[in-house]
Structures are given as C-alpha cells and as structure tokens.
A and B are shown apart, each in its own frame.
Chain A
Amino acid sequence: DAGVIQSPRHEVTEMGQEVTLRCKPISGHNSLFWYRQTMMRGLELLIYFNNNVPIDDSGMPEDRFSAKMPNASFSTLKIQPSEPRDSAVYFCASRLTGIGTNEKLFFGSGTQLSVL
C-alpha cells in the first residue's frame, strides 16, 4: 500500500487566494483526520470524518476553512481566502476505527503551506 497520499507537497500563495489541499487515505480505512502543525501550537486536529461523514469540525479555525469527503478515497481541505497566519504544515491521517486500531493513525507526508 502506498500509504496516505497528500498533494501538493508544497504550496506558496498570496494572501486572499484560495488554497485546496488533497488527501487520499489508505484503502479500507474508514476514518480520516486533517491536522495542522506549527511550532507554537503543535499538532491541532481540524476535522474528523468517519465513514465519509464529518463528525467533529470544532477545530476548524473559522469559516474560511472547509473540508469535504465525497467518497472513501478522497478528501479536500479548502482555505478561502487564505491569510499569512494559515501558514503551517497540514497533515491528513487515516485509520481503521475499532478496538485495537483506534490508536494507529497513519499520516501522510503533509503539505507545507506558505501564505505571503
């Protein structure tokens, strides 16, 4: 298995532009997470999907952020309009939810986002 695949690896954009980050989870996994990582705040959970349904989006900073999971093999995180404070590494992670597997999160390599 190729693991969790994220694209793009790097994104540089200007303030006010729309940014779309993409994620392909591991086949067979039924939970998907979007995290943001910064030096100051560490790893922050933005949103959690289970069986393609958003369960917890309390970590989404504000209305500028939105996430979708139209099917089991694809998810997007969109920022519109982007701001410099959104600069961070964004990770997608997936897992198979269940006893004995809940703790096993598989992360992608992340998208390094820079908003100028």
Chain B
Amino acid sequence: QKEVEQDPGPLSVPEGAIVSLNCTYSNSAFQYFMWYRQYSRKGPELLMYTYSSGNKEDGRFTAQVDKSSKYISLFIRDSQPSDSATYLCATLPGGNSGGSNYKLTFGKGTLLTVNP
C-alpha cells in the first residue's frame, strides 16, 4: 500500500459546483497535511496546510483532516474555471520522526476541470 493514496480522477464539474477532493494515508507519524495545486506545465504551489486534525478555511477553500480515519479532504465552494488544475495532497511527519521530517509524501494528484 502506498503511503498516500489519491483518486486521480479526472473530475469534471460545472462552474459554481462544490468540489470534494480526498486522500487517504497510512502512516500515523504524519502530522502536517498540505494541498498543492498544479496548473498545466507549471510546478506545484502550496494552496493550504493544516497541522493535525481539524478544519482550516481560506476563502472558497476548506481543508479537513480526520486523523482517526487517516482521511484528508479539500473542499472548493463556488468553483471557478480558474480552479481547473491538478490538486495534490501531501503529508509530513511531525517532530523527530527518525530524522525524516523533511520528507513530504505526495499523492499522485487529482485532475479537476471546472466547465464555464
């Protein structure tokens, strides 16, 4: 089992829809949870991050972590065509995790298209 699993999609939605993107992970040492957005022919860029469980909201975006079920979610409200991109979840161990707390583990990404 890969450490971070993510449905690759593709996911196609109409403009204005609520989008739900999800990942599961297997390593209990993961404490930091990130979502990166990657536009076509560009490098990934950090969209949001959370520490441990709970929700974090930033405008139309909400990141949610459920550590009990090892489940990571990103919700996009009122989706726009400009949100069309690949979304990658990523995790990072916390504290002194055997010295590996530099190592982000990425999901493969979900390709999202928002149609006008």
Question: Does A31 contact B88, Cβ atoms closer than 8 Å?
Answer: no
Contact of A93 among B32, B34, B43 (CB under 8 A): B43
| In the complex, residue of chain B having the shortest beta-carbon distance to the beta carbon of A92 | B43
Main secondary structure of the interface of A (DSSP, over half): strand
Tell me the nearest residue of chain B to A107, going by C-beta: B43
Say which residue of B43, B92, B101 sits within 8 Å of A109 (CB atoms). B43
Report how many A-B pairs have Cβ atoms within 8 Å.
54
Contacts of A56 in B (CB 8 A): 102-103
Chain B residues with Cβ under 8 A from A97's Cβ? 102
Complexed CA–CA distance, A31 and B41 (Å): 24
Q: Are B103 and A105 interface neighbours, CB within 8 A?
A: no
Tell me, yes or no, whether B46 is within 8 Å of chain A by CB: yes
* Cross-interface CB contact of A105 among B41, B101, B104, cutoff 8 Å: B104
Considering only residues 39-67 of chain A, those with a C-beta below 8 Å from chain B are 41-43, 45, 48, 50, 55-56
B107:A103 contact, CB within 8 angstroms:
no
Q: Mark B86-103, 1 if CB is under 8 A from A, else 0.
A: 001010100000000111
Q: How large, as a class, is the contact surface on chain B?
A: 20 to 34
Which residues in B have their C-beta under 8 angstroms from that of A45? 103-104
Q: Are B102 and A31 in contact (CB under 8 A)?
A: yes
Residues of B within 8 A of A107 (CB): 43-45
Residue of A nearest to B45 (CB): A107
Q: Which A residues are CB-close (under 8 A) to B46?
A: 103-106
Contact (Cβ within 8 A) A103 B42: no
A71 located at the interface, meaning its Cβ lies under 8 Å from any Cβ of chain B in the complex: no
Contact of B32 among A31, A48, A103, A109 (CB under 8 A): A103
**A103 touches which one: B43, B92, B108 (CB < 8 A)?**
B92
What 8 pairs between A and B have smallest CB-CB spacing? A107-B43, A42-B108, A43-B106, A103-B49, A103-B32, A103-B34, A107-B44, A91-B43
- New contact pairs (17) apart from A42-B88, A105-B36, CB-CB < 8 Å: A31-B102, A42-B106, A42-B107, A43-B88, A48-B103, A50-B102, A56-B102, A93-B43, A103-B32, A103-B34, A103-B49, A103-B90, A105-B44, A106-B45, A107-B43, A109-B42, A110-B41
